[in-house]
Amino acid sequence: MARVVNEIMLCSVLFVIYKALVASCQVGGGEGNDLEQVGVLSLDKNGGIIGEDDGVMKREREVSVGYPLVVSTWPFIKAVRAAWEAVRNGYSAIDAVVEGCSACEELRCDGTVGPGGSPDENGETTIDALLMDGATMEVGAVAAMRYVKDGIAAARLVMRHTRHTLLVGEMASRFAISMGLPGPADLSSPDSMDKWTKWKENSCQPNFWKNVSPSHGCGPYLPVDETSTATNGCNSTIGLPESCRINRHSHDTISMAVIDERRHIAVGTSTNGATFKIPGRVGDGPIAGSSSYADDEVGACGATGDGDIMMRFLPCYQVVESMRLGMEPKRAAEDAVLRIGRKYPDFVGAVFAVNRDGVHGGACYGWTFQYSVRSPNMQDVEVFTVLPLSVR
């Protein structure tokens, strides 16, 4: 009888150990854990996951597209093609990002990248750019750079030849020129100066001032008590008129991610900033974790939109860390965007997310967003459209 009891107890212990081992396998996938998540999954003929209530995961799984891979904000087709040709021909992810963003700077994409666009209040165009290596976590960036048109190339010089992360203003220009980039040069264009002249004729509206006097004219401005009666116009404290709000053609960025054949990841951003910004303003473009972020172990993110708001939330850092914890890219993107929308209902912006397996997704708030992808199983660049989210 005792022998039977002992055998029953032994079987019970072994069963408990077995359940514990199964549970530990199912929990795998966190940081520092080499175990893959396991479970009962059904696959369709294309390798997509078929779940009873998880159609989103299935669709995202089907866009896991292999290597190399290029993803970019907006339908900047020629820029994506330039990055694709570079990485397909053996360039590193870092250098492919530079090729892609440089093409956009040269093309002056949407008038918001490179020279000749987005004049500030003084009519001057300046450049912000960032480059990040997802293998080493090194970052090079320039902000409010004057007289030098090659923003992403200057960011690469900061990364490769200094121990700094960010250089700004005229000192960034001097550094870039000393390292061989062409300059100094006037970054304005007839189009940007015409835009600036019309803005001056419109009493410098819209602008980025608030709680100042005069409220409807050009400066110089003086501060007013922010507890006083709110003013009308674009420096109102009670919500912006539609004509004053950010839109794609006044405030935009190319943000690009590349995964090379060795599965190294890099991201880059280039922009000439917000149109009619206050001189000296720096947005999210050169800020790691805001406009873009990459980690070889996880994936990458790129962002575009109202950088003054977005940089307060570091949405791309949030996206990558959410993916590290197991979120699918699209859900991580949606989560990051909605965090901002809950605090700033008038916010306009978007992010794309891509994990290290090539699964990508996007999310936006306040506008319809498009992002571009090129992979080995595509004949050419494909553009994905994302509809805006709303805060519930």
Q: Report the catalytic residues.
A: 253
| One-letter amino acid of 3 | R
Backbone angles phi, psi at 269, to 5 degrees: -140, 140
What's the rounded Cα separation, in Å, for the pair 360 and 4?
A: 57
275 Cβ contact partners less than 8 Å away, ≥ 6 residues apart:
112, 117, 118, 119, 195, 250, 251
> Is the peptide bond prior to 184 cis by the omega test (within 30 degrees of 0)?
yes
Q: In angstroms, how far apart are the furthest CA atoms of the chain? A: 101
Tokens in use for 46? 């294309």
Alpha helices (H) along 188-313: 190-201, 307-310
Total residue length of the chain: 392
What's the rounded Cα separation, in Å, for the pair 66 and 261?
A: 9
Contact 207, 276 (CB under 8 A): yes
**CA separation (Å) from 57 to 29, 37, 105, 294, 298?**
17, 15, 36, 22, 17
Alpha helices (H) along the chain: 2-27, 55-62, 77-88, 93-107, 151-161, 169-178, 190-201, 307-310, 315-324, 329-343
What's the rounded Cα separation, in Å, for the pair 323 and 231?
A: 43
Task: Name the pairing type of β-strands 139-145 and 166-168.
Answer: parallel
Radius of gyration of the chain (CA): 24
What's the rounded Cα separation, in Å, for the pair 188 and 272?
A: 11
Tokens in use for 133? 């290596």
